[in-house]
Amino acid sequence: MLKVKDLHVYYGGIHALKGLNFQIEKGEIITLIGSNGAGKTSTLRAISNLIKSKGSIKYKDQEINDLNAEKIVGMRLIQVPEGRRIFTALSVEENLLMGAYLRKDNEKIEEDLQYVYKLFPRLKERTKQYGGTLSGGEQQMLAIGRALMSAPELLMLDEPSMGLAPIVIEEIFQAIKEINQENGLTVLLVEQNANIALQTAHRGYVIETGEILFTGNAKDLLHDDRVRKAYLGEE
Ligand code: ATP
């Protein structure tokens, strides 16, 4: 579904991504794990074409490097940005419907709205509440729900666990698994929390200072000494 080859990103003199290679098959949850500043956000922003990059990004066999960000959203490649970026002065339901602004299939939009409410009952209890008054966890649910309202084929999540309590993280990652299992949605998950990311994903890539160090099945990576020492805080 997505094939990234020799991807480079520069910020002025800083070479942030140094030739990344990875791919995602339809129906997979893939995680990109790495510490602060490793290049995870830059990777997602390059795929969504929010920043300039060099190399090849093929989505469903089409080169998308030169397409503008809106076109990419139209191709159902949807990113949930780091820090949620919900509309604070709009209600929960208005936020969700903003996700569907490019769609015209009204009946399916209503069906998807009910699906989001089933997935996140806390949002259903708060349809009229302003986005800005939600807790961090609820805002993350809203950001994911809004992305689902765009009918994604590939959903990219940038650090959904950031700043949240463990119990809320569990709830959100359980929902990510559920969407994948029920709808076969393909997911690219970028995380610093290697533990939860590897428990959720099928495969993982470890990224440091703009390079992929190694890759493998998520279960194998969870038990890999290099991952345990560097990302799970074990000796
Ligand atoms: P974090 O979890 O902190 O967001 P990350 O793995 O997502 O980290 P990136 O945000 O992609 O990492 O950053 C990769 C590198 O690029 C870092 O060295 C960062 O300082 C640099 N960088 C990111 N954005 C910019 C920018 N707008 N201008 C200059 N340098 C940047």
9, 17 in Cβ contact below 8 A?
A: yes
pLDDT per residue as tens digits for the range 69-90: 889 998 999 999 887 789 999 9
Q: What string of DSSP letters covers 44-94?
A: HHHHTTSS--EEEEEETTEE-TTS-HHHHHHTTEEEE-TT----TTSBHHH
Dist CA 231 CA 208 (whole Å): 11
Q: Does ligand 1 lie within 6 Å of residue 38's CB atom?
A: yes
Residue with tokens 């094939």: 3
Residue with tokens 């590897």: 198
pLDDT per residue as tens digits for the range 30-73: 999 998 899 999 999 999 999 999 999 999 999 999 898 889 99
Q: Does ligand 1 lie within 6 Å of residue 36's CB atom?
A: yes
Dist CA 234 CA 219 (whole Å): 17
Ligand 1, atom 30, residue with closest C-alpha: 11
Whole-prediction pTM value? 0.93
Q: Which CATH architecture has domain 1-76+186-235?
A: 3-Layer(aba) Sandwich (3.40)
Grouping H, G, I as helix, E, B as strand and the rest as coil, residue 36 is: coil
> To test the ligand 1 pocket, which listed residue (8, 17, 18, 41) has its Cβ within 8 A of the most ligand atoms?
41
